[in-house]
Structure formats: structure tokens, C-alpha cells
Amino acid sequence: MILGQKTITNFTQNPKNDILSGLTVALALVPEAVAFAFVAGVDPLVGLYGAFMMGIVTALFGGRPGMISGATGAMAVVMVHLIQKGNEVGMGLETPIDNLGLQWLFITLLFVGAIQIMAGVLKLGKFVRLIPHPVMMGFVNGLAIVIFLSQLGLFKETVNGETQFMTGQALWTMLGFVALTMGIMFGLPRLTKKIPAALIAIIVVACITIFGGIEVSTVGSFIKEGGGEGLQGGLPTFQEQIFNLFYTLQGHWDLILSTAFILAAVGLIESLMTLNLVDEITETRGSGNRECVAQGGANILNGLFGGMGGCAMIGQSIINVDSGGRGRLSGAVAAIALLCFVLFGAPLIEQIPIAALVGVMFMVVIGTFAWSSFRIIRKIPLSDAVVLIAVSAITVWKDLAVAVIAGVIISALVFAWKNATMIRARKRIQPDGTKTYEIWGPLFFGSIQNFNSKFDVKNDPQHVEIDFVESRVSDHSALEAIFNLVNKYEAEGKQIKLKHLSTDCKRLMYKASPKFKEVIVEAVDDPRYHLAADPEKFTKPLSEYSL
């Protein structure tokens, strides 16, 4: 019951803001979905259908109310090779099949969805918490740069069959309307926050160009320049033919499955990172595992009904949050409005100036970029600064998934290196002649070399004990290091004992080799608690002890 109430609250909270912000996002989704469809080499309607199905499913069932999902560039780039290869195979068949690559994409999305659902069921979404803050800042900065660079392509026009950057009057007109859009978005919130500034900016610029008869690049001209016929279309239809095309995959299953795993990983990483970012902005917490399941279900739906698939979109998510969209209603309105554009509003939407949408995205870039990184870059550890810059650069150079994975690996290696140098050994000789090594620091694969260098097997006395009171045996490499050390001492005819191992460490060591039962001392008090463990040592009244 509580869960149901929470879901209803998330859906209906502040309906006015959610509806208006949803409409704003829908307008911003159109050129993005169309552009990414062109990148992947599919019809614009496939991109729009993909954005609709991703948006509606994740809005209603996803783990982050207010987060927007749709067709994304990160996934579109991965799809290119699959679609091209499918088209080549289709043309080479005895009975040629047009657009076989697109059918392969739909089949692949079924596997993508299954992988993502499995990730959610296995609760792998929690691993996003392991992403360090420098990686998060690098991701945000890199993605802001990518969004900015992607908008520059909208400053191009086709002249005599050749695509080139705008010049002269066309360029100045475009820049003027971009500046006007940004100015409205910057100034209107200072007057009122009851209506989304982005929506008002788009409407104002569209009215000026339409009623003023000003010739500018529009959504419609953008689609036609890319080879599309327009936004007008019907409802998505069930793609039953894909189940009759599995025979064409013979000899190409490795391509299908490898692409599916890459698409699933890219989608989950981008979505979970965006979820974390929206969490920080809204100061609430979403469910990564629930988002994995919802995204997987949406991609399966895309495969069955002819969408290009996708994941969370950081730019549109920030537009939504900044416009006041906090509940599930905002995402649902954005998705339904996008479908309505396709079914009923294509002629009107096609008249919206590209400049207005570019201006909105430029403001998203300004709001997304972590400008504080310039201020703190000299104040944080050098390794963190390197990670931040590297992740930003790799995001621009390669893609988000590669950048985040690289950032996490670099951070993990730096952490391992620092911990490897923390291993210490305090040595002392007991009254009975036993030499004690008190080990301090974590014992794992990175620190075993330093650990081994602390011992002098040949010159040590006959009795040696290693005290792990301030250490922890972490992995198989550490177990092997201890086992080899025990063998070395015994080969020299010396007796060695291991003390103060934690219960889980002893369990690991007993499981690794029965030999450890001979050298591990079980009944040993922790010396840090001798006073508490042995009250007879207190011979004076408590008042006479100074703290």
C-alpha cells in the first residue's frame, strides 16, 4: 500500500509543471531522435517510435521519476555496423531482402532488453555507486561538450547538393534566433518560474519566424535534407516478420550477440549515470535496478514494434528537471506528445525553427557542464584531476561507456597502488626470544611484494609469529603470499604462528589449505581490548585512574 501511494505521488506531483515540462521535452526530442536515426542509418520514424516507446515505458515503470529516455547517439553509433552488415547480407541472398539490417536491429534489441532485465533482476544497478566523483564530473563535462558539438551540425545547409556551414545572412539569422532563445531562457525565470522558460522560448521564436515570414532552417527542412520524407506517420506496428528472418542470422550470431551486449552496457551505463545526476539535482534517490528492468522492457518493446531502442538522455532529462518536471507524468506527457506529433501535428512541428531547439540545447550545455571543476582542479589530488580530464576527453573522442569504464579502471588502479604502499610491519622480540611481526595495512594482490620484503627468513630466530591485528587478508594473492611465507620458514626448520586473523580471513585460509590449521592460533585475545577483557588488572578505585 505504501509503495502504491508512493508511485501515485511520483506520478501526480505538481501536474501543471509536469505537463508543461513534458511538452517542452517533446519538442526537444524531435530533432534529437531524427538526427540519431540518421546516424544509425534508419528512417526518422524509427527513431521517433523508439523515443516514444522508451519514454513511455521508463516514465511509468522506471526507477527515476522525471528522467527522460529516448533514442540516443551513444547507442546509434554502435548500431551502424550491424545495420550495414545486415543490408549487405540481405542484398546477397538468393531472394534479396531490403533493409535487412533494420530487421537485424529489431532482433538484436530483443537480446538487449533481456540482458538489461537480467542486470536489474541480479541487482547490478547498485554498482553505479562504485563510480568515483571525478569520473562523474568528467562524464558530465564530456557529455556537455558532446551535446555542444552535436548542435554545430545544425548550422549546416545544403547548397547545390553539397552540405556546408551556413554563411552570410543565413548564419546571422540562425545566431540571432539562438541568442534570442537563450536570452528568454535566461531572463524569464527571473520574472516567473510558473511556466517553463524553454517552452516559451520555442513558441516565441517559432511565432516570429512563422508570422514574420522569415526563411530559416526548420525541423521539416532538416528531415528532408537528411533524406527523410517528414514526421507524418501512423502508430507503431508489430514486426512479426522478424521471427521469419532468424535463418538469415546463420553465421552472424556472434555479431548479433556482441552488439547486443555492447548496446545493453552502453544503455545501462548512460542511464545509471544520468540517474545519479538527476538524483543530485533533485536531492532524491532513484532505483537503479528498477531502471534496468524498465529499460530492458522498453528495448524489447522497440524490437517488437519497430523502434530503434535507446536509453536515458541527459540533455532532455535536465531540460525536464529545470522546467519543473519531477514526476512520472512529465516523462509520460513527453512520450505521448511525441507520438501525437507523428500522428496529428507533423505539419505544425515541422515549422519549428531549428535555431530555437539549438538555443535550448546550448542552455542545457551551460547548465550541464561542471564549471566548478575549473576551480577545484588544482585543489584535488593529481590522480583525480587526471581521471576527470581523461574521462571528459574519452567521452568526446570515443563514447560514454568507454570513458566511464576507463575512468573507473584508472581510479581503481590508483586506489590499489596507494593501498599497496600502506602495508607496514612493526618488529619486536619477546622475552622468550620469539620474533613478532605486527602487520598494518591491507594485504591484497597489490601489497604482497611489500609484504614479502618485510621478513628476514634466514636470520630470524627459531620461533616467529605474525600478528594481523591491524591487517586484513583480502584475496587469493594474499593467501598465496602467506602460504609461501609459511613454507619458507618451515623449510628453514623454524616454527611460525599466525595470530589475530578475523573470522572470515581464517575461513578463507582453512578453505585454501588444511596446513593453515597448524599455524593459526585460535584462542588469542585482541591486545587492543586487554583492559576491558581482564578487569582483574584494575587494582585501584576507578576515581584514581586519569583519562
| Axis-axis angle for helices 15-40, 328-340 (nearest 10) | 50
Of 345, 369, 391, the residue at which a domain comes to its end is 391
pLDDT of residue 119: 93
Overall average pLDDT of the 412-436 stretch = 88
Query: Do 380 and 510 fall into the same domain?
Result: no
**Is 537 part of a structural domain of the chain?**
no
In sequence order, what are the residues at sequence separation of 6 or more whose Cβ sits closer than 8 angstroms to the Cβ of residue 390?
138, 403, 406, 407, 410
Looking at 369, 391, 413, the residue that finishes a domain is 391
Q: Do 350 and 428 belong to one domain? A: no
In a domain? residue 538: no
Q: Angle, to 10 degrees, between the axis of helix 253-282 and the axis of helix 133-152? A: 110
Kindly state whether residues 189 and 329 are assigned to the same domain. yes
CA distance 409 to 393: 15
The four Cα atoms 378, 379, 381, 384 give a dihedral, to 10 degrees, of -70
Lowest mean pLDDT among 1-10, 66-75, 158-167, 196-205: 1-10
Task: Report the 10 Å Cβ neighbour count for 284.
Answer: 13
Q: Dump pLDDT digits (tens) for 243-257.
A: 999 999 988 999 999
Please state, in angstroms and rounded to a whole number, the distance separating the CA atoms of residues 467 and 470: 8
Q: What is the pLDDT of residue 82?
A: 92
Does position 6 have pLDDT exceeding 60, yes or no?
Answer: no
Taking each continuous run of H as one helix and of E as one strand, the counts in the chain are: 23, 8
Q: 442 and 385 in one domain?
A: no
Q: What is the pLDDT at residue 349?
A: 86
Q: Is residue 494 part of a domain?
A: yes
DSSP 445-478: TTTHHHHHTT--TTTS-SEEEEEEEEEEE-SHHH
311 or 509, higher pLDDT: 311
Q: Tell me: do 33 and 120 sit in the same domain.
A: yes
Residue 243 lies in a domain: no
Same domain for 277 and 130? yes
Q: Which of 391, 409, 438 is the last residue of a domain?
A: 391
Of 100, 137, 149, the closest CA to residue 249 belongs to 100
Query: What is the pLDDT confidence band of residue 340, given thresholds at 50, 70 and 90?
Result: very high
pLDDT at 199 over 70: yes
- Please check whether residues 475 and 327 belong to one and the same domain: no
- Mean of pLDDT values over 509-525: 79
Q: What is the pLDDT of residues 426-469, one digit of tens each?
A: 999 999 999 999 999 888 888 999 999 999 999 999 999 999 88
The predicted model gives 402-431 an average pLDDT of 88
Same domain, residue pair 199 and 310: yes
Residue 458 lies in a domain: yes
* DSSP letter for each residue of 271-306: HHHHHHHHHHHHT----HHHHHHHHHHHHHHHHHHT
- With respect to residue 442, please indicate whether it lies within any of the assigned structural domains: yes
Q: Show the CA angle centred on residue 293, arms to residues 109 and 68, nearest 5°.
A: 80
Residues 303, 202 share a domain:
yes
Residues 313, 254 share a domain: yes
**Residue range 22-42: average pLDDT?**
84
CA distances from 243 to 53, 103, 109, 238 (A): 20, 10, 13, 11
Percentage of the chain modeled with pLDDT above 70: 93
Domain assignment present for residue 413? The answer is no
Please check the confidence at residue 546 and state whether its pLDDT lies above 60.
Answer: no
CATH number at residue 518: 3.30.750.24
Output the pLDDT for position 525.
57
Query: How many structural domains comprise the chain?
Result: 2
Residue 474: band (very low, low, confident or very high) from pLDDT cuts 50, 70, 90: confident
> What's the domain range around 507?
424-524
Residues 110 and 256 in one domain: yes
Count of CB atoms situated within 10 Å of the CB of 211: 8
Which region among 263-272, 475-484, 520-529 has the lowest average model confidence (pLDDT)? Answer: 520-529
Give the residues across from 164 on adjacent strands.
157
Question: Highest mean pLDDT: which of 20-29, 104-113, 224-233, 366-375?
Answer: 104-113
Q: Specify whether the CB–CB gap between 368 and 140 falls below 8 A.
A: yes
Residues 269 and 348 in one domain: yes
Average pLDDT of the segment spanning 190-204: 85
Give the CA distances from residue 394 to residues 68, 135, 389, in Å, rounded to whole numbers and listed in that order.
24, 11, 9
241 within a domain of the structure (yes/no) = no
